Amino acid sequence: MQREIYDEDHEAFREVVKEFVKRYVTPEKAKQWDADGEVDRATMKAAAEHGIVGLSVPEEFGGAGMLMDYRFRSVVNEELIGCGHGSALAGAVGIHDDLAVPYIAHFGTDAQKAKWLPKMATAEILGALAMTEPGAGSDLRAARTTAKKVDGGYVVNGAKTFISSGKTADIIVTFVKTGEGNRPDAFSLIILEDGMPGFEHGKKLHKMGFPGHDTAELSFSDVFVPDENLIGGVEGRGFVHLMMNLPLERLSIGAVAAAVAEAGVKWTIDYTTSREAFGKPVIDFQNTRFRLAEMATTVDVMWAYVDRAMNLYRQGKLSADEAAKVKFWCTEREWEVLDQGVQLHGGYGYILEYPIARAFLDARVHRIYGGTNEVMREIVARSITGRK
Amino acid sequence: MRIVVLVKVVPDTNAERTLSLETGLAERATAALVADEIGERALEVALSYADAHEGTDVHVLAVGPEESTTSIRKCLAMGAASATHVVDAGLVGADLGLTAEVVAAALGRVGYDLVLAGNQSTDGMGGVLPVMVAEHLGLPSLTNLTAVTIGDAEVSGTRLSEDAAVGLSAPLPAVVSVTEALPDPRFPGFKGIMAAKKKPVEVLSLADLGLDADDLSTSRSIMLTIDARPPRGGGVKITDDDGDAAVRLSAFLAENHLI
């Protein structure tokens, strides 16, 4: 179904991303990322040169100024994912632009913006966001990483885990406890810099999916962080800041899910067209045709929903609970579409050479991260019932 | 220095291209229109020079239908400063002679120190437009260059032939055509796309240029008939029955002057 959220600028930008994919996102490159467990910095910088990284950085700091408009970001997702071997890059770009830059762009002090954002626009500096701890995921208030006030700054102790881009990022926007107890105002966001004494990366995590995008454990032992790295310069705002960027984080996962599902339909059509069984292409069997019809319709509905959410986000009207609906619903439809796609690929759907198999493994985490889908349901339930 | 780059908008070579048997023209609906890829390489020559020489003004000149706008915008997004687009119903199906007159007239209007073009378009492949333009303007013409050096008062370059590399130079102003052997052109980014929206594109008609497409006092080539390409016949198949296939294959290739 024709989508209606894009204008000629988005289509011109889509051509840019397609050309970028042709030149930089080759299957050989993707293999290298998988082998290294991370996307190389040169590719990130090349992407930044063409405005594919840095879309959310404000114009005055050298970015595209699209923090409040997810459409260009969605074009990036659609093209990187649709080519069949760009999911690691899509992930790395997403963490930087959707999860790290916003905290500095929205809530940073003028000095923090001036210090970090120009280099985040060029990918000289890459960012990540660290919330989850070994003992605190959905239950964020159980976080135990502390930042104790000392003269001139803070001393940070604790550990974070499952941090996307945690190894490659130069700066980590980190959720820490600056107060006592677990009241919302006991927490703050603080920028940890790679290389600070006492900041170590733990062992490489072997994941089910996204082999080409790094996910790390981080440990902090008496890491001294200067005052100037406290996001916004005021303690106790951590929860508030997180809450304010949640709509974007959840929307971004929903938009990625739609892009993956759309690609999954395309891969499945391609495969079943070329594969023959019982003397005719698999796509000509009624079962295939019915399943494809369902998959394609599901994708249309996903986009109708995500596009509406993108429009609301642009107007500043997408609430955290509405974004939660988008996140859990889209990632579950994505899972169903991919599962069906794998089935229609037969044995080849189980082979990682095929993009449908890789996408299937990658997609599993979409129902877990960015807030588990169970937490998303709880948030939606709270909003519609008015009961905690 | 003002460098004018001639850019033709053509059906994408990556898509299937078909001719309409009604009009003899390319079916615009079947393939997306893009800036000709050799023309983009010519633009890259101009932009690289402009990057290194402040005060260089790169202007794009396109003669083509309304739908050329997207490709012209892309050239501006790549870095050209301004563009001229000649569009006129009288130019539908224009032959090389008329197109060269139009290009020459438009160049006279926009001004130039150097004119750069692809040596041929990927659709029409006439290969003579740059020299025809040079002839109209009374300018020296360097054709089919595989390397170009732009100086203050002259342009020089290399033309590769089968057994020699010919060095050529001409005083400016001049017309230069380049081949697809030149490096890949740059491609735009987000900022280029946004900047392009603010760059001027002058749209001209034949009347603006004082030309009349129906004036046949100059000879024009006119298409009289068009036929679909006949289906390909079966090729020669050499099977290795007696172990002499290699001999017969090389004989076949030699016979057809392929080796």
Q: What pLDDT digit, counting tens, does each position of A185-195 carry?
A: 999 999 999 99
Question: What pLDDT shows up at residue A341?
Answer: 98
Minimum distance, in Å, between the CA of residue B12 and any CA atom of chain A: 13
Q: Are B26 and B138 in contact (CB under 8 A)?
A: no
**Which tokens hold the place of A140?**
């964020």
- How many whole angstroms separate alpha carbon A67 and alpha carbon A59? 10
B2-41 residues touching A, CB cutoff 8 A:
none
Rounded CA-CA distance A122/B41 in Å is 26
Residue A192, SS3 per DSSP? strand
Q: Helix (H, G, I), strand (E, B), or coil: what is residue A13?
A: helix
Grouping H, G, I as helix, E, B as strand and the rest as coil, residue A270 is helix
Name the packing angle between helices B96-110 and B129-137 (round to 10°): 50
Number of residues written out for chain A: 388
Tell me how far apart the terminal alpha carbons of chain B are, to the nearest angstrom: 47
The pLDDT, as a whole number, for residue A372 is 96
What type of residue sits at position A133? E
Query: What residue of B is the nearest CA neighbor of A21?
Result: B187
Q: Let me know if A25 is exposed, middle or buried by CB neighbors in 10 A (0-12, 13-18, 19+).
A: buried
Q: Report residue B92 CA to chain centroid gap.
A: 17
| pLDDT tens-digit series, residues A164-175 | 999 999 999 999
pLDDT given for residue A26 in this prediction: 96
Q: What is the pLDDT of residue A208?
A: 96
What angle do helix axes A355-363 and A87-94 make, rounded to 10 degrees? 30
Cis omega (within 30 of 0) for bond into B173: yes
Per-residue pLDDT band at A258 (split at 50, 70, 90): very high
The confidence band for A90, taking pLDDT boundaries of 50, 70 and 90, is very high
Q: What is the DSSP string of A352-381?
A: TTSHHHHHHHHHGGGGTSSS-HHHHHHHHH
Q: Catalytic residue among A38, A78, A249, A262, which?
A: A249
- State both tokens at B153: 């008062």
CB pairs under 8 A between A and B: 38
DSSP B89: G
Q: Which of B70, B184, B187 sits opposite A16 (nearest CB)?
A: B187
Buried b or exposed e, range A44-67, using 16+ CB within 10 angstroms: bebbbbbbbbbbbbbeebbbbbbb
Q: State pLDDT tens for residues B89-120.
A: 999 888 899 999 999 999 999 999 999 999 99
List all residues 6 or more positions away from B89 whose beta carbon is below 8 Å from its beta carbon.
Answer: none
Residues 6+ away with beta carbon under 8 Å from A13: A51, A72, A75, B190, B193
Stretch B233-242: mean pLDDT:
85
Strand pairing partners for B61?
Answer: B6, B84
Per-residue confidence (pLDDT) for residue B26, from 0 to 100:
76
**Can you read off the two tokens belonging to residue B112?**
């130039």
The answer to whether the CB atoms of B193 and A20 lie below 8 A apart is no
Determine the pLDDT at residue B213. 85
Interface with chain A: mutation pick from B193, B194, B197, highest number of A CBs within 10 Å: B193
Q: What's the average model confidence in pLDDT over B119-136? A: 90
How far does A49 lie from chain B, in Å, by closest CA? 7
Greatest pairwise CA separation for chain A in angstroms: 78
Of B70, B184, B190, the CB nearest to A55: B190
d(CA A215, CA A220): 17
Taking an 8 Å cut-off on Cβ atoms, the answer to whether A12 and B191 are in contact is: no
User: How many residues belong to chain B?
Assistant: 259
What would the two tokens of residue A217 be?
A: 């454990």
Q: What DSSP designation does A133 have?
A: B
| DSSP code per residue over A38-106 | S--HHHHHHHHHTTSS-TTS-GGGTS---TT--HHHHHHHHHHHHTSS-HHHHHHHHIIIIIIHHHHHH
Cβ contacts of B187 on chain A, cutoff 8 Å? 16, 19-20, 23, 50
The pLDDT score that the predictor gives to residue B125 is: 81
> Count of CB atoms within 10 A of residue A355's CB?
27
Residue pLDDT, tens place only, B42-98: 999 999 999 999 999 999 999 999 999 999 999 999 999 999 999 999 998 888 999
The verdict on whether A78 is a catalytic residue reads: no
Across the interface, whether the CB atoms of B188 and A20 are under 8 A apart is answered no
pLDDT score for A199? 97
Task: Outline where DSSP puts E strands in A231-350.
Answer: 276-277, 280-281
Any chain B CB within 8 A of the CB of A51?
yes
Angle at A329 between CA A327 and CA A331, to 5 degrees: 65
Comparison of pLDDT for B12 and A20, the residue scoring more: A20
What is the predicted pLDDT for the residue at B221?
A: 82
H-helix or E-strand containing A116?
helix A110-122
B213 in Cβ contact with B88 (< 8 Å)? yes
In this prediction, residue A315 has a pLDDT band, given cuts at 50, 70 and 90, of very high
User: What is the rounded average pLDDT of the residues A341-365?
Assistant: 97
d(CA A307, CA A114): 33
The pTM of the full predicted model, rounded to 2 decimals, is 0.90
Write down the pLDDT at residue A354: 97
Which of B190, B191, B193, B194 is the best residue to mutate to test the A interface, defined by the most A CB atoms within 10 Å of its own CB? Answer: B190
Give A75 to chain B, closest Cα distance, Å.
Answer: 12
Q: Determine, for residues B74 and A15 on separate chains, whether the beta-carbon distance falls below 8 Å.
A: yes
Mean pLDDT of chain A: 96
| pLDDT higher than threshold 80 for residue B30 | no
The answer on pLDDT for A89 being more than 90 is: yes
Chain B interface includes A4 (CB < 8 A): no
- A71: tokens are 């459409």
Is residue B32 very low, low, confident or very high in pLDDT (cuts 50, 70, 90)?
Answer: confident
Phi first, then psi: what are they for B191, rounded to 5°?
-65, -35
pLDDT band per the 50, 70, 90 thresholds, residue B161: confident
Q: What is the pLDDT of chain B when averaged over all its residues?
A: 92
Rounded to whole angstroms, the Cα distance separating B110 from B173 reads: 14
Q: How far, in whole angstroms, is CA B159 from its chain's centroid?
A: 17
* Whether A169 contacts A142, CB under 8 Å: no
What is the distance between the alpha carbons of residues A254 and A248, in angstroms, rounded to a whole number? 10
